[in-house]
């Protein structure tokens, strides 16, 4: 019965996009059904690869008619199983990867309009081609797609100065649950005409609509950069340094990453060509970068002075200032080595919490104490976009210890609940930049008030009453 209906559905989809863009062979569909980490997979009736927003709209209409869900997917680099289909084989995986047009470049307006399937790196280089900066930056940028970045409100390393994906979007084109296309592709800095549909779709992870094109803000490219790799005695000193740097440099402070000593050490140990820029071990490292278009400012001198004063105040133990572009790139290579190092170090459970910047020290102290108390043999590695209050707290176990520590129980779930509880108790959030997907639906239910959950359901009901769009994601079971 399902098979017959599936055959009819596939035929209709082929009539829209052409047979070559409807994939059913196991080898063809597997990269779309398996998530980026390779731990989780789902399945759908087929993968369909439309070439335009109109084709996306027709696919949604067809699926809605057949009562089959649509699972939209960009670069499939998400870490919360939001971009893969559910188990069970229902519905259609809709890949946006063929929507690649650059629709408009408007240099005097500092804006561009591009389709959802461009990779983030392609968006960055398109901006650079007109001497502009598109500042969203994250380690998956060669693969992730701008539609997915916007649908998930991606964060990354440029947030301190330029904001999240949400802050970089001027307008959207969205295919709605009934297969109509909403053209909200304005390129305006100000538009106060009705409810903010744009921000409702951003971060909704494809559950309210499918983003097919985006209008983006562009910025002038910095003319000067200065970076430093800084050893600090503790988190409180790092917080003091951040406050000093923000007061001194404001928008010129574009990077302020905090890395725990053990985290840095395993990067140096596991990642080829990652060598410590400092001779000694430090309990915490701050990687800070300044950038500015002002030609009369001397960023390196300002940074040197600021670091010397901070050292006198006891905030800084040692620092290496990048003496060349190459050394600055080396700092970034170390920073981007976190995932690889953690993967090699053991079985790790990473977290993506946010707390007010003033509470990062409290949160870390509590998390460390509880981890030690409850999980003997656990190792802790911390990297934080400190200027955003975003802490990636990773608890790692040597694989041979896991069975011993937690016989028959889900160790990861226990660790995660503990970390999330602590973050929320510090006035924080259990999810800073990675989103909810399937992975954190239970946390959403645990930490959100019934009032907030009710509003989420009312909004889903209002915009996708039949539940066509990315079911099983974001919203918990009621």
CB 397 within 8 Å of CB 405 = yes
What's the min distance (Å) between Cβ of 311 and a second copy?
A: 18
Residue 39 CB coordination number (10 Å)? 9
Q: What is the DSSP letter of 375?
A: S
Residue with tokens 């289909």: 85
In DSSP terms, 175 is beta-bridged to 181, 210
Q: Is 365 a residue that touches a second copy (CB under 8 A)?
A: no
What's the min distance (Å) between Cβ of 478 and a second copy?
A: 14
Q: What is the DSSP letter of 389?
A: T
Residues in region 110-149 near a second copy by CB under 8 A = 110-111
Q: Is 340 a residue that touches a second copy (CB under 8 A)?
A: no
CB closer to a second copy out of 200 and 402: 200
Quick one: which segment of 19-27, 318-326, 333-341, 442-450 binds a second copy (CB under 8 A)?
A: 442-450
The site map against a second copy for 44-83 (x = CB under 8 A) is ----------------------------------------
Q: Is 302 a residue that touches a second copy (CB under 8 A)?
A: yes
The site map against a second copy for 78-117 (x = CB under 8 A) is ----------------------------xxxxxx------
3-state DSSP assignment of residue 2: helix
Quick one: which segment of 268-276, 341-349, 373-381, 444-452 binds a second copy (CB under 8 A)?
A: 444-452
Handedness of CA 340, 346, 352, 356 (dihedral sign): negative
Q: Which position among 194, 279, 407, 408 is part of the footprint of a second copy (CB under 8 A)? A: 194
Residue with tokens 């656990």: 378
Q: Is 356 a residue that touches a second copy (CB under 8 A)?
A: yes
C-alpha 422/C-alpha 451 separation (Å) is: 22
Q: Which position among 358, 410, 425, 466 is part of the footprint of a second copy (CB under 8 A)? A: 358
CB closer to a second copy out of 7 and 180: 180
Quick one: which segment of 38-46, 47-55, 187-195, 405-413 binds a second copy (CB under 8 A)?
A: 187-195
Q: Which position among 96, 116, 267, 474 is part of the footprint of a second copy (CB under 8 A)? A: 474
Burial bucket for residue 369 (CB in 10 Å: 0-12, 13-18, 19+): exposed
Q: Which position among 23, 134, 447, 468 is part of the footprint of a second copy (CB under 8 A)? A: 447
Q: Is 224 a residue that touches a second copy (CB under 8 A)?
A: no
What's the min distance (Å) between Cβ of 250 and a second copy?
A: 4
Residues in region 375-404 near a second copy by CB under 8 A = 385, 387-390
Q: Is 289 a residue that touches a second copy (CB under 8 A)?
A: no
Q: Is 298 a residue that touches a second copy (CB under 8 A)?
A: yes
Residues in region 239-278 near a second copy by CB under 8 A = 239, 243, 246-252
Degrees, nearest 5: CA angle 243-249-255 = 75
The site map against a second copy for 161-180 (x = CB under 8 A) is ---x-xx--------x---x
C-alpha 109/C-alpha 466 separation (Å) is: 39
Q: Is 323 a residue that touches a second copy (CB under 8 A)?
A: no
What's the min distance (Å) between Cβ of 465 and a second copy?
A: 9
What's the min distance (Å) between Cβ of 240 and a second copy?
A: 9
DSSP character string of 235-248: HHHHHHHHHHHHHH
CB closer to a second copy out of 107 and 344: 107
Q: Is 478 a residue that touches a second copy (CB under 8 A)?
A: no
- 102-106 and 132-133 beta bridge pairing: unpaired
Burial bucket for residue 295 (CB in 10 Å: 0-12, 13-18, 19+): exposed
Q: Name the strand (E) or helix (H) holding 3.
A: helix 2-17
3-state DSSP assignment of residue 211: strand
C-alpha 287/C-alpha 160 separation (Å) is: 13
The site map against a second copy for 418-437 (x = CB under 8 A) is ---------xxxxxxxxxx-
Q: Which position among 8, 88, 452, 466 is part of the footprint of a second copy (CB under 8 A)? A: 452
Q: Is 297 a residue that touches a second copy (CB under 8 A)?
A: yes
Q: Is 292 a residue that touches a second copy (CB under 8 A)?
A: yes
- 70-73 and 92-95 beta bridge pairing: parallel
CA end-to-end distance (rounded Å), the chain: 29
Q: Is 206 a residue that touches a second copy (CB under 8 A)?
A: no
DSSP character string of 247-297: HHHGGGEEEEEEEEHHHHHHHHHHSTT---SSSS--SEEEEEEEEES-SS-
C-alpha 316/C-alpha 287 separation (Å) is: 12
What's the min distance (Å) between Cβ of 330 and a second copy?
A: 26
Degrees, nearest 5: CA angle 126-130-133 = 70
């Amino acid at each position: 019965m399902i098979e017959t209906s599936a055959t009819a559905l596939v035929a209709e989809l082929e009539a829209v996009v052409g047979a070559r863009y409807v994939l059913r062979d196991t080898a063809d569909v597997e990269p779309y059904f398996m998530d980026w980490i390779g731990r989780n997979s789902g399945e759908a009736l087929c993968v369909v690869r439309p070439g335009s927003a109109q084709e996306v709209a027709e696919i949604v209409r067809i699926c809605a008619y057949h009562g089959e869900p649509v699972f939209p997917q960009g670069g499939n680099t998400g870490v919360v199983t939001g971009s893969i289909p559910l188990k069970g084989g229902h519905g259609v995986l809709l890949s946006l990867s063929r929507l690649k047009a650059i629709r408009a470049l408007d240099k005097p307006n500092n804006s561009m309009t591009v389709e959802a399937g461009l990779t983030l790196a392609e968006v960055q280089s398109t901006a650079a081609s007109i001497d502009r900066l598109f500042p969203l930056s994250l380690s998956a940028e060669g693969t992730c797609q701008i539609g997915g970045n916007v649908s998930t409100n991606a964060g990354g390393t440029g947030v301190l100065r330029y904001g999240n994906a949400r802050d970089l979007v001027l307008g959207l084109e969205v295919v709605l649950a009934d297969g109509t296309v909403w053209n909200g592709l304005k390129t305006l800095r100000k538009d106060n005409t009705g409810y903010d549909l744009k921000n409702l779709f951003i971060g909704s992870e494809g559950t309210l609509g499918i983003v097919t094109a985006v209008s983006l803000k562009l910025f002038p490219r910095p003319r000067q950069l200065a970076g430093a790799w800084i050893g600090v005695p503790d988190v409180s000193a790092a917080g003091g340094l951040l406050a000093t740097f923000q007061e001194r440099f404001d928008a010129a402070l574009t990077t302020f990453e905090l890395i725990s000593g053990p985290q840095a050490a395993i990067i140096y140990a596991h990642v080829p060509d990652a060598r410590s820029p400092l001779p000694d071990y430090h309990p915490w490292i701050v990687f800070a970068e300044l950038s500015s278009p002002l030609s009369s400012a001397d960023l390196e001198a300002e940074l040197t002075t600021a670091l010397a004063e901070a050292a006198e105040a006891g905030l800084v133990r040692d620092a290496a200032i990048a003496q060349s572009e190459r050394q600055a790139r080396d700092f970034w290579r170390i920073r981007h080595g976190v995932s690889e190092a953690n993967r090699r170090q053991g079985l790790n459970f990473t977290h993506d919490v946010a707390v007010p910047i003033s509470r990062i020290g409290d949160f870390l102290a509590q998390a460390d104490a509880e981890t030690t108390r409850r999980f003997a043999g656990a190792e802790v590695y911390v990297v934080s976009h400190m200027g955003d209050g975003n802490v990636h707290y990773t608890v790692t176990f040597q694989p041979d210890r896991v069975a011993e520590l937690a016989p028959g129980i889900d160790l990861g779930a226990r660790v995660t609940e503990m970390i999330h509880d602590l973050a929320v108790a510090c006035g924080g959030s259990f999810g800073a930049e990675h989103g909810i997907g399937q992975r954190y639906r239970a946390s959403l239910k645990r930490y959100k008030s019934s009032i907030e959950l009710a509003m989420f359901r009312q909004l889903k009901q209002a915009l996708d009453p039949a539940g066509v769009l990315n079911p099983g994601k974001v919203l918990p079971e009621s």
